Amino acid sequence: MNLESPLTVLKGVGEKRAKLYQKLGINNIGELLEHYPRGYLDLTGSLSIKEASDEHPCAIKAVVTQKSATRPIRRGLTVTKVRATDMESDILITFWNAKYTVDALEIGKEYIFYGDFSRRFTGGEMNSPTVISTEERGFLPQYPLTEGLSSKMVSAQMKEAIKNCGSFIRETLCGSVLKKYDLCSKEEAIRGIHFPSCSNELERAKKRLIFEEFLAFTLGMSLTKGRERLAEGNAFLNLSTEKFEESLGFELTGAQKRVIAECKKDMCSSVPMSRLIQGDVGSGKTAIAAACMYFAAKNGFQSAMMAPTEVLASQHKATLEKMFAPFGIKVGILTGSMKASEKNAVKEAIKSGEITIVTGTHALIQEDVEFWNLGLIITDEQHRFGVRQRMALGKKGKAPHTIVMSATPIPRTLAFVLYGDLDISILDEMPKNRIPVKTYLVEPELSQRALNFVRNFAKEGKQSYIVCPLIERNEDSLPLEAAADLAEQIAGQELCDCNVGLLHGKMKPAEKERVMQAFAENRLQVLVSTTVIEVGVDVPNAVCMVIENAERFGLSQLHQLRGRVGRGKEQSYCILISGKKNPETKRRLEVIAKTTDGFKVAEEDLKLRGPGDFFGYRQSGLPMLKMADMMTDISLLETAKKAAAEILSDDPKLEKAENAALAKNIRKLLEEAAI
């Protein structure tokens, strides 16, 4: 067995399981070793009920004394109660939808239960904890998974892989860097990240791996930036955009004017613009994008505006069409769900230059879309896109100017990781007519009242959103209100006199479109949804948002969600429902209730959760960095930047033998990102 061997050499991996690993991008042993845990179950502390903490998840070792029958609560939800004791105190454990897990528990046998713990007078309670064999010790790695794989399986296979191939792991950093920055070897790091024997070893492993990623990333950015600067772009003429700005129907804010000026200045240079515009929800980024596209159009160039969802793309199309109609500038749309014939017609019109401005989803970056004369590319709500997609679109024109717009205020250091290659404009002023959204944090007992609130609004002809975190329940999680169930339930009961619609990620695009359209036209008064509404949707008549299980969302994500209301002239409300008693969780949610300033929210979010979880969505968080999800120490980035500068000053093109392994990794990184 070596690093290139297929996974089928491992015990317990046949063709079928190898396919599952393939889904995670793992094809051989070497790639398996680089599949890092996303977290650990920490079994190193005390395992007694008396000392259990109710502030963070903990492990409790206890003997099962009693099991209730598994009872259905309602469709798709069952509950089983289990009692256990550590001979000193008792715990009552509630399992949701976990018949299989509970059946496997034997009365009289001892287990480790891992999860959130609430202290009660006589002992405590746990909710659907993970059940672990008492033979386990230390830190149990929890891996990013796909359906059909469990952390236990991956962990067993990882053990075997490390045992047989650990010694083949090659060092990738030169000795002097390892020494200067006090880093452990790659082999030690890989062993330590999967199966750390103590927290110190885990920290050293993380430090080494994160450092290496940052270093490769920083070097990669430096090398590309140098290359991009060479690209010859289109220098636009500094034509006036005043007429367009005056036609918008509102006075641009000072910040909007400043940012438009910054963009125009960039576009008048033959060095292609690469600019990030950061502005809170509702700060008016669309108007800036439109002014820039008008500027490009006046200069005789086409613009493309890419949005992460079809809903948003069509909304942009409608907005832009209205804005540009008076100027005779044609706006088109291209999305994946369009009929082939429609698509072809639009593609023809893009190629011939008949359409000047085109919006769309990532269908826009597909190979066969040709532009007549693309001069400006705008990607909206950028954190949903990977660097790869950003780069792919950039290849469509002759070094077109690019603008990236993000509604998540990002602290500077993080902005570098995500957008190291971009200049940054900050939109720090809201249009004057805004009334801040009133936000309340309430216990689940009050959700009836929240629904009454929604019903009263509906009676007045105003609309509401109800947001639920997940569309599916999985065995391991708490009984979250799944959107579909909830929609059905409240449509039949609490809100039977309103029109309730449902929107979730698994629906077909056309279906989503239909629902969104119905909501936009006020044919639906209530929209129950998962987070698909989060990005950019603009329905000014929606004045109320109820968020179920609010603790499941990141602060920045909640802030984004809340940005869907408070867009009109009416006072708007956001009701966060959370039953979590944990003080840390409470504190987090109170931040949202107290402030409507996105930058403040972002800072708090970063402080409380660390940058890895900052965006709330793992898969699209930090595009090229695997380890960054677990990163808690941003200062390491500064150190890596310093090391990168030192390496480059000594070896500007990374040609020396000692940097060969690093150079190879950077090439791979850049290739993956299609830079």
The residues of the shown chain that bind ligand ADP, judged by CB under 6 A, are: 250-253, 256, 279, 281-287, 407, 431, 433, 536, 538, 567
Q: Which residue is nearest to ligand ADP (CB)?
A: 284
Question: Measured from the CB of residue 543, what is the shortest distance to ligand ADP in angstroms?
Answer: 14
Closest among 303, 292, 293, 295 to 240, alpha carbons compared:
295
Cα angle 493, 499, 500 (rounded to 5 degrees) comes to 70
Contact residues for 147 (Cβ-Cβ < 8 A; gap 6+):
20
501 binds Mg ion (CB under 5 A): no
Separation CA 534–CA 310 (nearest Å): 13
Please give the sequence-ordered ranges of beta strands (E in DSSP) within 148-282, or none if there are none.
Answer: 274-279
Q: Tell me the sheet residues that pair with 140.
A: 41
Residue 152 · residue 133 · CB < 8 Å: no
536 binds Mg ion (CB under 5 A): yes
Please give the structure tokens belonging to residue 533: 């509404």
Q: Give how far Cα 216 sits from Cα of 393, 662, 666, Å.
A: 23, 7, 5
Residue 7, classified by CB atoms within 10 Å of its CB into exposed (0-12), middle (13-18) or buried (19+), is buried
Separation CA 76–CA 463 (nearest Å): 29
Q: Which does 440 bind (CB under 5 to 8 A by kind): Mg ion, ligand ADP, none?
A: none
Q: Which does 409 bind (CB under 5 to 8 A by kind): ligand ADP, Mg ion, none?
A: none
With respect to ligand ADP, which residue has the nearer C-beta, 43 or 407?
A: 407
Question: Measured from the CB of residue 258, what is the shortest distance to ligand ADP in angstroms?
Answer: 12
Note every long-range contact of 601-604, with CB atoms under 8 Å and residues 24 or more positions apart, other chains counting.
601/409, 601/555, 601/556, 601/558, 601/559, 602/408, 602/409, 602/410, 602/411, 602/555, 602/556, 602/559, 603/411, 604/555
What does the per-residue mask of binding to Mg ion show for 345-384, with x meaning CB under 5 A? ----------------------------------------
Residue 400 · residue 377 · CB < 8 Å: yes
With respect to ligand ADP, which residue has the nearer C-beta, 286 or 531?
A: 286
279 binds Mg ion (CB under 5 A): no
Question: Measured from the CB of residue 312, what is the shortest distance to Mg ion in angstroms?
Answer: 8
Question: Measured from the CB of residue 432, what is the shortest distance to Mg ion in angstroms?
Answer: 18
282 binds Mg ion (CB under 5 A): no
CB atoms within 10 A of CB 172: 17
Applying CB under 5 A, which part among 44-52, 85-93, 193-201, 531-539 lies near Mg ion? Answer: 531-539
Q: What does DSSP say about strands 401-406 and 274-279: parallel, antiparallel, or unpaired?
A: parallel
Question: Measured from the CB of residue 653, what is the shortest distance to ligand ADP in angstroms?
Answer: 41
Question: Measured from the CB of residue 289, what is the shortest distance to ligand ADP in angstroms?
Answer: 8
Applying CB under 5 A, which part among 106-114, 139-147, 496-504, 536-544 lies near Mg ion? Answer: 536-544
Question: Measured from the CB of residue 85, what is the shortest distance to ligand ADP in angstroms?
Answer: 54
Question: Measured from the CB of residue 399, what is the shortest distance to ligand ADP in angstroms?
Answer: 26
With respect to ligand ADP, which residue has the nearer C-beta, 40 or 295?
A: 295
With respect to Mg ion, which residue has the nearer C-beta, 217 or 324?
A: 324
With respect to Mg ion, which residue has the nearer C-beta, 192 or 563?
A: 563
Q: Which does 284 bind (CB under 5 to 8 A by kind): ligand ADP, Mg ion, none?
A: ligand ADP
Question: Which residues of this chain interact with Mg ion, rule CB under 5 A?
Answer: 285, 536
